[in-house]
Each structure stands twice: as C-alpha cells, then as structure tokens.
Amino acid sequence: MGSFLMAAQVILPLLILMVLGVLLRKTNLMDEATYKKLNTLIFKVFLPPLIFYNVYKSELSEAFDGKLILFAVLCILALFFVLVAVVPLIEKDDRRRGAIIQGIFRSNFVIFGVPLTVALMGDAAAGKVAVVVAFVVPLFNFLAVISLEVFRHGKPDIKKILKGIVTNPLIIASALGILSTAIGLKLPKFLETAVSDVAKIATPLALIVLGASLDFALLKKNSIRVLLVTAARLVFVPLVFLTIAILLGFRGVDIAILISVFASPTAVSSYAMAQQMGADDALAGQIVASTTAFCVFTVFLFVFGLDLIGVL
C-alpha cells in the first residue's frame, strides 16, 4: 500500500496539471496560438531560471556523479545507434524514419522528468538532476538533428548543430549554474529570491501547457506506428535500461533520475524540430500526444514496482 500511495502522490499532481491544460483548451480559454507562445516563453524564460537555480543551490561536489552521467550518456548513445540500424529495416519512408527514431530515444526529461525526480526524492535531488540535464539535453538535441538530417538525404551541418547546442537556453542555464557553484558566486538576496520565484512558475505552467497541446484526434492516424513507438518509448526502453541500472547497483536518487530520463514521454520539442527539418511532423506530433497520455500509467507502474522492490 505504501508503494501505491507513493506512486499516486507523485503522478497525480502532474496528471491534474495536465488535465487542467486539456480543459483550458476544450473550453477555449487557451487556443493553439496561446499555448504555442506560452511554450516559447516557458522554454526561453521560465525553464532556464529553474535549471540555473537547481544547480546554483546544490553542492557541485555532491551533485556531480560521473558514474550516473556516464551510464545515462552511454545508454542513450547505444539506444540511438540501435534505432538507426533497426528502424530503416521496418519503415521505408525516410520522413517517418527520422520521426520514429527521435520519438523513441528523445525523452521529455526537463518538463516532465525533472519535476518527477523532485516529486519522488524531494528538493535534495534537484541539484543532481540539473547537472544530469547539462549532459543529457545537449546529447538529445545533437542526436535528434543528426537523425533528421540523415533521413532527409542531407549532410549534417556540424556548425549548425554546435550553434544549436551552445545557444540552447537550458544548456546555457546549466553551464552558468555549474560555473557559479564552482567559483562560489553568491547572488544578492533580492536577486536570488526573484530567480527562485520565476523558477517556481516553470514546472506547473509547463505541465498545463503540455496538457493543452495534446491533440487526441491525431492519434486516429498512423495508429499502428504510434502504438509501437509508444510501447517502445514507455515500456521497452525503461524496462531494459532500468534493469541494467539496478544490476549495476544504482539506487535511490539515481534510479529516480534514470526513471525520468528513460520513462518520460517523447520531448514536445521533437514535433517542432521534425516540422523544421522536413520529417513527418504529423507523425511526430501523434507520438508526443500518445506517449504523454499513456506515460501517466506506465510511469506510475514503474515507480510503484521499483519502490516495492526497494530500489527507490
């Protein structure tokens, strides 16, 4: 019963915020133009202070875990290369190949995963997960661009990819947070309070907008592909990599972070990237909607099960 309650207490608040977003859209209090603008605002204004503040308030020596970061990075790379080899054998359309590969390996780690980790383990985990973000987010972006470039018969533009990484607001915020902690920088109290207040807005607003962006009508198209990608993203990927992590001895906060990396739904930004780079953006949007809708149940089961066996 304790494991069930823990899982419910973590997942239900996130679900309620997403449902609120759905209701706002259904009642026309938030239209498509509004939530798209809010998405941009969240990405450029609210999430960076959240990431910065989490790192800034952490003890870098305690927050940096080389073993955990290396494990997450190697697993993501392994998954990506397996997908690049396998997906073309199953899907013949290049535009769909890129969308499928991105849909399986690229998780919504920041918007869904970070609040999930904090909800599971408390504020003490915020700094550690923020440091992992600094490594995982640029890797996701880099690999996504590579996969979409390759499957539109183009040559990857390394300069463009690197520019996208170094100008990513979340990566900049992580780097500034790490730098400030490393040199012992202390913000004036009034400024720290302001950053903290802005950071508190990010998670609930991001989840509400995420709910508003779901278009369940899209799920009627490409149903077989969407269901297969959803099963791979939400069941197969976390099952494989969390099992390996447990066998390697990861426990507690580390497992919570790895749940966030591998069991979170497909990144919302994958739709925009697919649209910009000539991939099947309709399929990409369907994958985001499906994985976001079903992750509430799959994440609940993973949290419940892992807590039950005592690794959380």
pLDDT confidence of residue 4: 59
User: Other C-beta atoms within 10 Å of 44: how many?
Assistant: 11
H helix or E strand, kind and range, residue 91: none
pLDDT tens-digit series, residues 167-200: 778 778 878 887 887 788 889 999 999 999 998 8
pTM of the model: 0.79
pLDDT tens-digit series, residues 113-156: 777 888 888 877 777 887 888 788 888 878 888 888 778 755 55
H helix or E strand, kind and range, residue 2: helix 2-26
Is it the case that residue 106 has pLDDT exceeding 90? yes
> Are the C-beta atoms of 258 and 245 separated by less than 8 Å?
yes
pLDDT class of 5 with cuts at 50, 70, 90: low
pLDDT tens-digit series, residues 7-45: 567 677 877 888 899 899 999 898 888 888 887 888 788
Q: What is the torsional sign of CA 201, 205, 207, 210?
A: negative
Can you give the residue ranges of every domain in the chain? 2-308
Q: Is 107 helix (H, G, I), strand (E, B) or coil?
A: strand
| Cα dihedral 212/108/263/210 (nearest 10) | -10
Cα–Cα–Cα angle for 133, 239, 258, nearest 5°?
20
CATH number of 2-308: 1.20.1530.20
What is d(CA 157, CA 148) in angstroms, rounded to the nearest whole number? 11
User: Other C-beta atoms within 10 Å of 259: how many?
Assistant: 24
> Are the C-beta atoms of 309 and 273 separated by less than 8 Å?
no
pLDDT, greater one: 282 or 261? 261
